[in-house]
């Protein structure tokens, strides 16, 4: 059992990111059993949940003529336009049925502001609007984080980088993550995580 200073952060293990979903990550459902088993070892468990309104500005469908996975400039910087996914209250936004959701101490919803996307569990994509997770973890005395989930090169990596920037000791279990790998994003984000002092295991 991990000490009380450790927390497991489970990123976006939702139906739309699993095979058959609107933004499926290859093998996204292969990690669910391993994540559920790992939960037994941690005194603090947080699940994040992508939770977009249907009119979200990061959806290609809300930009006439724009193709999914194209890039546009938003006030906060470059933004990938995604297929519509994890729409609030939809089956795609629900957690994978085999994930032990009842073991979570906190479920943190992100991406609910229509005008800004949110990859990280800690900050919106403007890098300044906080989700409240940092305050929650500090109030619980947590200093070491283990991250798992979907997708390695987007929400997991952005969360790990922010956690390191905030002073946490961070490990990403690559065996319990899966990647989108959009135009070399996996290699790029892996390099960034290593440079930031994030431990990559598995």
> Which residue in the list 29, 86, 110, 134 is annotated as catalytic?
110
What is the DSSP track for 151-167? -IIIIIHHHHHHHHHTT
Q: Active site includes 177?
A: no
> Which residue in the list 12, 16, 153, 162 is annotated as catalytic?
12
Q: Active site includes 12?
A: yes
Alpha carbon of residue 170 to chain centroid: 14
CA distance 82 to 12: 15
For the chain, give me the number of helices (H) and strands (E)?
Answer: 4, 8
Residue 38: beta bridge partners?
none
User: What three-state secondary structure class fits 148?
Assistant: strand
CA distance 172 to 165: 15
CA distance 141 to 7: 10
Question: Which tokens belong to 164?
Answer: 């390191």
Q: Active site includes 115?
A: no
> Which residue in the list 18, 50, 86, 155 is annotated as catalytic?
155
- Catalytic positions: 12, 110, 155
């Amino acid at each position: 059992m991990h000490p009380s200073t450790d927390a497991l952060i489970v990123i976006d293990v939702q139906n739309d990111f699993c095979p058959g979903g609107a933004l499926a990550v290859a093998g996204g459902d292969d990690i669910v059993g391993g994540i559920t088993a790992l939960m037994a070892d941690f005194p603090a468990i947080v699940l994040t949940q992508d939770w977009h309104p249907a009119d979200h500005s990061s959806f290609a469908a809300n930009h006439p003529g724009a193709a999914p996975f194209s890039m546009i400039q938003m006030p906060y910087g470059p933004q990938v336009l995604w297929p519509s996914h994890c729409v609030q209250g939809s089956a795609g936004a629900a957690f994978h049925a085999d994930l032990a959701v009842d073991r979570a101490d906190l479920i943190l919803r992100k991406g609910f502001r229509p005008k800004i996307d949110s990859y990280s569990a800690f900050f919106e994509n403007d890098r300044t609007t906080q989700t409240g997770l940092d305050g929650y973890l500090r109030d619980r005395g947590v200093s070491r984080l283990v991250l798992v989930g979907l997708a390695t090169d987007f929400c997991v990596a952005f969360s790990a980088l922010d956690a390191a920037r905030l002073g946490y000791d961070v490990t990403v279990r690559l065996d319990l993550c899966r990647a989108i790998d959009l135009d070399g994003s996996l290699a790029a984000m892996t390099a960034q995580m290593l440079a930031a002092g994030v431990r990559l295991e598995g």
